Amino acid sequence: MLPVKQTASPVSYAAREPAIGTARCDLRDDRLRRFAAIWSRAVHPTLSAPVSRAEFERHLVPLAAVLRDALHARPFDPRPAHDVGAALVAAHCTEPEALPQILGVIDAYLVLYLPPGHPMPAEESRARCSRLQHAVAAGFAQALAEHARAEEEAATKAARAALAEAERALHTSEARFRAVFEDTSVGVGIADVDGRIIDVNGALQGMFGSPGRKVTGRNVGELVHPDDAPEFWSLYRELVRGDRDHYRVEKPYYRSDGSVVWTDMSVTLLRDAAGEPQYQLALMEDITERRQLHARLRYEATHDPLTGLPNRTLFFERLDQALETGAGTGPDADSVEEGAGRFGLCYLDLDGFKAVNDSLGHAVGDRLLVAVAERLRACATGPRELVARLGGDEFVALITGPSAPGEATALARRMLAALAEPVHLDGRDLSVRASIGIVDGAAGELGAAEVLRSADITMYRAKAAGGNRYELADADSDARAIARHGLTNRLPAALDNGEFFIEYQPLVRLEDGTVRGAEALVRWLHPVHGVLGPDRFIPLAESTGLIVPLGRWVLAEAARQARSWHTDGPDGTPFRVNVNLSPSQLRYPGLVADTVAVLQDAGLDPSALCLEVTENALIGADEEELRPLRQLADLGVDIALDDFGTGYSNLSYLRRLPVSTLKLDRSFTRGMQCAPADPVDVKIVEGIVSLAHTLDLSVTVEGVETGTQADHLRLLGCDTAQGWYYARPGPPDRLHTLSLADAASV
């Protein structure tokens, strides 16, 4: 039964502050007050009691503080928002139209007016806001249900009073009974123990349809409905046998027009003077509107408001059910047939969707998501298939049943095919690409979090492979991704704890075999995995932004060591130290200032430092991007082009780069490791060296592994070399210890 608006005198909130914890609430907080003012303007017209808007606004401030604190909390916990929903019902927000207004303001203004005070990605803050809305809706629905239940209990008490009055009237006065029977607003019906309906009052007649519809004379057993509770007819038989005196159930009936009326029905057995069953007395209250309200609130709490697809809440309910019992995703798939405890899951993320929002706006992005949702919905029409939107541009499909794994792959193909056709919006065709990760298994093997983690990892493998494709989950790939994640999380603490160290590989002048410098190579002494090479953690540091502080530390350590070599050198000739720069460091605005500061702190001449930049990092760079390197070169720092030959392999663009050294990639010199040398490799290296010297560039060769190879490179005019033939990377005190042995024999 829907709450009824009250017309009593104005209500004060002074004695009913919401008991929702200890949220930090300061009435002078301008952001809180502005959010509460907007919230009050939207919700106040829906209140079921005469409360002034100013008083209602003051009441909303602590509720807004709860939402703010929940939004910012680490770890995130949406449960306080559940109490906010309950507190709003207690504040007379009991009309059905109140919830959309409540949730709409939270969705539109919570993150805007009460943003997190610490760095948080926009996607995470929006996802948190969405989960807070769901929690508010759940708390609102539960409190509203309890509110309705209290009114229902009051009505039931009245009905029971009517029943007691009816029983007394049957024994004392037919006239008095008839007055109560006809005048009560509760539906009343009397049937004998054989189920034949003897009499009904007007209220019950109205529940079943027009007055012309005959209810009297029919048998209770005829009034069946497919949604009858399984235990209903068992209770009925127990009552007419005299084994019980009362039962209460919620039961649907068909009206005369074919529609359904839901009733809260209480049935009591009336016995004769000898105690034998004689009549059934049924009291029925129409609860159709209340059930519709609950269904609407449930739908809003479990469906995405933009696309209409099931949301995270409903998806995880179905996934938990499938993983625990193997039951299907459909409403009728509650039993578990043999082999049905299998599942398949497709985790889909749109490729490049952020570019749509950034270039065309979020309104166009939302319309694109709606179009994508419609296409995905059309791909999953089976009774055991469910498509949901998890948030943003992430969608997921769940299939259950014995053939779920194969069906999941087929569904992924259908979804990619459905998205292949461009979406036409505002006169433009928007192409849609997606990456899909597929996970399948049996119920009971994995938890929901593990399944989603595996699907997410697999989806990113599909993205890394070029996107617009699907990949199948692989345990080894999952383990590697989890290991990478563990290393990524450990990186900041590793730098703070001094877990990194540097090894140096000598740079040897080919003309006389003397050591002229060294390349600084960073290593990680991991407390669990031991020593890790840069290939294991540099890409992770690059992707997280930690490469900048790590690179600054490497530069400072290498400069300090180079200064020590200069001081300790026997002939006073400064040794040069080579330090690698990543693409992120090249884009860092403070690169030049940091380098100058490091050189000054170490007391190192700029000519003793060489910064190595990969060829791929400079391909296509414009003048603005090259400016930091030019500034460093002007200071006297050498710039080396590392891995030369892996990009354009074109010397013509070198004329505009501020480089002084080419580091020739080892792929060009492998053919010289043994005699006779590969003539093609010889010609290529000879041409590169000749052109480089013409441009006044020195040539360093990396990856030298044999004496034969070193001899060839010296004869071809290469300036310096490094590799395992001379020495493997090691501690700084071994810089001048050269093995001069072929790597294969070491």
Q: Domain holding 710: CATH number? A: 3.20.20.450
For the ranges 115-119, 412-416, 625-629, which has the lowest average pLDDT? 115-119
pLDDT tens for each residue of 122-137: 888 888 888 888 888 8
Task: Please state, in angstroms and rounded to a whole number, the distance separating the CA atoms of residues 196 and 402.
Answer: 48
**pLDDT band at 160; cut points 50, 70, 90:** confident
Instruction: Write down which residue in 151, 171, 196 finishes a domain.
Output: 151
61-79 as b/e: b if 16+ CB within 10 A: bbbbbbbbbbbbeeeeebe
Residues whose CB falls within 8 Å of the CB of residue 308, separated by 6 or more in sequence, listed in order: 373
Is 128 in the same domain as 230? Answer: no
Residue 229 predicted with pLDDT over 80: yes
For the ranges 148-157, 273-282, 686-695, 718-727, which has the lowest average pLDDT? 148-157
Is 62 in the same domain as 193? Answer: no
Q: Give the dihedral sign, CA 89/92/93/94.
A: positive
177 within domain boundaries: no
pLDDT tens for each residue of 732-744: 888 888 878 887 6
Task: Please state, in angstroms and rounded to a whole number, the distance separating the CA atoms of residues 417 and 434.
Answer: 10
The pLDDT, as a whole number, for residue 610 is 94
Residue 75 predicted with pLDDT over 50: yes
The pLDDT, as a whole number, for residue 20 is 52
Other beta carbons within 10 Å of 604: 22
In the sheet with 277-286, reading across from the earlier edge strand, the strands are: 197-200, 187-192, 277-286, 260-271, 246-254
Choice between 585 and 337, residue whose per-residue pLDDT is larger: 585
Place of tokens 């395992």: 724
Is 448 in the same domain as 527? Answer: no
**pLDDT band at 113; cut points 50, 70, 90:** confident
Is 460 in the same domain as 521? Answer: no
> Which of 28-37, 560-569, 695-704 ranks highest by mean pLDDT?
695-704
Is 320 in the same domain as 424? Answer: yes
16 within domain boundaries: no
Residues whose CB falls within 8 Å of the CB of residue 672, separated by 6 or more in sequence, listed in order: 678, 681, 682, 685, 708, 709, 712, 713
**Closest of 465, 350, 472, 334 to residue 406, by C-alpha:** 472
The pLDDT, as a whole number, for residue 172 is 58
Bridge pairing between strands 385-391 and 576-581: unpaired
For the ranges 13-22, 194-203, 341-350, which has the lowest average pLDDT? 13-22
Domain range for 501: 489-742
Do the beta carbons of residue 574 and residue 566 sit within 8 Å?
Answer: yes
Residues whose CB falls within 8 Å of the CB of residue 211, separated by 6 or more in sequence, listed in order: 202, 205
How confident is the model over 200-217, as a mean pLDDT? 74
CATH number of residue 390's parent domain: 3.30.70.270
Q: Tell me, rounded to whole angstroms, the distance of Cα 125 from its chain centroid.
A: 11
Is 598 in the same domain as 640? Answer: yes
Do the beta carbons of residue 348 and residue 395 sit within 8 Å?
Answer: yes
Is 230 in the same domain as 376? Answer: no
Residue 682 predicted with pLDDT over 50: yes
The pLDDT, as a whole number, for residue 678 is 86
Q: Where are the beta strands (DSSP E) in 255-323?
A: 260-271, 277-286
Is 306 in the same domain as 226? Answer: no
Mean residue pLDDT of the chain comes to: 83
Angle between helices 312-325 and 448-464 (to 10 degrees): 110
pLDDT tens for each residue of 622-677: 888 889 999 999 999 999 998 887 765 555 677 788 899 999 888 888 888 888 88
Is 143 in the same domain as 229? Answer: no
483 within domain boundaries: no
The pLDDT, as a whole number, for residue 165 is 66
Task: Please state, in angstroms and rounded to a whole number, the distance separating the CA atoms of residues 525 and 546.
Answer: 17
Per the structure, how many domains does the chain have?
Answer: 4
> Which of 127-136, 156-165, 396-405, 507-516 ranks highest by mean pLDDT?
507-516
What is the SS3 assignment for 221?
helix
Is 320 in the same domain as 465? Answer: yes
How confident is the model over 508-529, as a mean pLDDT? 90
333 within domain boundaries: no
164 within domain boundaries: no
Other beta carbons within 10 Å of 346: 30
Bridge pairing between strands 260-271 and 434-442: unpaired
pLDDT tens for each residue of 167-202: 665 555 455 555 556 667 788 888 998 889 888 888
Residue 328 predicted with pLDDT over 70: no
The pLDDT, as a whole number, for residue 179 is 56
> Which of 435-449, 495-509, 613-627 ranks highest by mean pLDDT?
495-509
17 within domain boundaries: no
Is 408 in the same domain as 505? Answer: no
The pLDDT, as a whole number, for residue 326 is 53
Residue 679 predicted with pLDDT over 70: yes
Query: Which DSSP category does 464 fall into?
Result: H
What is the SS3 assignment for 635?
helix
Is 520 in the same domain as 385? Answer: no
Instruction: Write down which residue in 473, 502, 519 finishes a domain.
Output: 473
447 within domain boundaries: yes
The pLDDT, as a whole number, for residue 334 is 45
Count of residues in the chain: 746
176 within domain boundaries: no
Choice between 705 and 7, residue whose per-residue pLDDT is larger: 705
First to last CA, the chain: 87
The pLDDT, as a whole number, for residue 433 is 93
What is the SS3 assignment for 335?
coil
Place of tokens 């929006």: 126
How confident is the model over 343-371, as a mean pLDDT? 91
The pLDDT, as a whole number, for residue 348 is 95
Task: Find the largest Cα–Cα distance for the chain.
Answer: 129
Q: Is the peptide bond before 731 cis (omega within 30 degrees of 0)?
A: no
Instruction: Write down which residue in 440, 473, 506 finishes a domain.
Output: 473
**pLDDT band at 70; cut points 50, 70, 90:** confident
The pLDDT, as a whole number, for residue 288 is 86
